[in-house]
């Protein structure tokens, strides 16, 4: 089984916060070069400064790029190729969530999730894997989610995008294993990052603290699993147990459990929308009146 060349050039998307920043910090002692990619350049520069200070022999390339912009993505890849001679390991970490009943959700947010979590991830993989196969060495770590293996009301599009990542990655892993390219996926449960801030617009049931892990813990487990070429990496003891339970529990039982949760979450969202007395995300104003 191939091992990812973590001593090579590593491109990390979504490196400006959360899991991506931690992956960069923990890979810095092993990598030859790190490419930090995201939209918030100042954040990336700050992290690059920190890493250069701690690891003087490491090359760090800050690449600001909106992955929803195909031309900007192509320009970024050309620059990386020109300055570092290609990418040995791709970490597709940038991702976006949204918590909402689907019928009350903003189309813009759905579109962004589909474009980032699915299309951008697939495009980068498609651009970079052929070269890895040609060289007979490489690695891809796709950041999926525990939701790539299960489902939960309030996350329809997000769950759908992560199921795509999980299925796509399982196939890719089999297709390129014989060509020297290691492919793993990370399927975390709740991690303390800025993810929730971006994804949640109204008060939702709080995730208990013992279920949540730090980005540092998540990145450590991810690198340990990826180094060993694990197919699916599930960080944290609680998530390991709960994902095993959810795999062996018949789906109809899960539906029975999640049904009341869906009703409760809908109630909370409708209440929040009514309280604010404005349409969500400035969309269709008939939505709120239709709910009253
Ligand atoms: N936190 C969790 O509970 C959790 C659980 C399971 C899976 N995950 C997955 O973990 C991954 C990382 O999330 P996180 O928790 O670390 O969240 P985060 O702190 O919000 O980080 C998301 C990263 O994605 C980048 N990003 C967003 N839109 C982008 C765009 N259009 N172009 C380029 N970069 C973009 C952000 O950078 P800029 O804003 O600077 O562009 C940021 O660096 C995601 O794929 C998420 O689905 C998270």
DSSP element (H, E) containing 141: strand 138-143
Going from the Cα of 289 to the center of ligand 1, the distance in angstroms, rounded, reads 33
Query: DSSP letters along 70-95, please?
Result: HHHHHHHHHHHHHHHSS-SEEEE---
**Helices and strands in the chain, H and E counts:** 11, 9
* Position with higher pLDDT, 194 vs 289: 194
Based on its alpha-carbon atoms, the radius of gyration of the chain, rounded to whole angstroms, reads 20
Return the percent helix, strand and coil in the chain, to nearest 5: 55, 15, 30
**Residues flanking ligand 1, CB < 6 Å:** 13-14, 16-20, 38-40, 43, 66-68, 93-97, 116, 143, 145, 188, 190-191, 193-195, 198
pLDDT at residue 197, as a whole number: 85
The helix/strand/coil state of 252 is helix
- Read off the pTM: 0.94
Closest atom of ligand 1 to CA, residue 188 = 6
Ligand 1 geometric centre to CA of 92 (Å):
10
Average the pLDDT over each of 6-10, 32-36, 219-223, 246-250 and give the range with the smallest value: 246-250
**Per-residue pLDDT at 290 exceeds 90:** no
Of ligand 1's listed atoms, the one at least distance from the Cα of 197 is: 20
Token pair for 64: 């600001």
Residue 283 is predicted with a pLDDT of 54
Q: Which domains does the chain have, with CATH numbers?
A: 9-250 (3.40.50.720)
pLDDT at 132: 98
Collapsing DSSP to helix, strand or coil, 57 comes out as: coil
| Predicted local distance difference test score (pLDDT) of residue 123 | 98
| Residue whose CB lies within 8 A of the most ligand 1 atoms, among 23, 25, 38, for a mutation test | 38
pLDDT tens, residue by residue, 191-216: 999 988 888 877 777 788 889 999 99
Least confident of 68-72, 227-231, 261-265: 261-265
Whose Cα sits closest to atom 25 in ligand 1? 14
pLDDT tens digits along 89-107: 999 999 999 999 999 999 9
């Amino acid at each position: 089984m191939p091992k990812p060349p973590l001593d090579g050039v590593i491109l990390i998307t979504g490196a400006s916060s959360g899991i991506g920043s931690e992956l960069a910090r923990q890979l810095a002692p092993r990598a030859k070069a790190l490419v930090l990619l995201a939209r918030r350049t100042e954040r990336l520069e700050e992290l690059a400064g920190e890493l250069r200070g701690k690891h003087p022999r490491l090359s760090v390339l800050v690449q600001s790029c909106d992955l929803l912009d195909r031309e900007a993505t192509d320009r970024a890849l050309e620059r990386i190729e020109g300055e570092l001679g290609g990418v040995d390991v791709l970490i597709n970490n940038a991702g976006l969530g949204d918590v909402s009943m689907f019928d009350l959700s903003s189309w813009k947010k759905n579109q962004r999730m589909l474009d980032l979590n699915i299309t951008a991830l697939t495009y980068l993989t498609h651009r970079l894997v052929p070269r890895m196969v040609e060289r007979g060495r490489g690695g891809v770590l796709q950041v999926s989610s525990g939701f790539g293996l299960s489902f939960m009301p309030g996350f329809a599009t997000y769950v759908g995008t992560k199921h795509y990542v999980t299925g796509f990655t399982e196939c890719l892993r089999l297709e390129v294993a014989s060509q020297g390219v290691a492919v793993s996926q990370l399927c975390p449960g709740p991690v303390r990052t800025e993810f929730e801030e971006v994804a949640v617009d109204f008060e939702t049931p709080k995730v208990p603290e013992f279920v949540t892990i730090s980005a540092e813990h998540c990145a450590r487990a991810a690198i340990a699993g990826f180094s060993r070429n694990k197919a699916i990496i599930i960080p944290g003891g609680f998530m390991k147990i709960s994902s095993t339970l959810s795999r062996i529990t018949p789906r109809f039982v899960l539906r029975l459990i999640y049904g009341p949760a869906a009703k409760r979450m809908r109630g909370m969202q409708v209440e929040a929308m009514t309280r604010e007395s404005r349409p969500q995300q400035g969309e269709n104003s008939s939505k709120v009146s239709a709910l009253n």
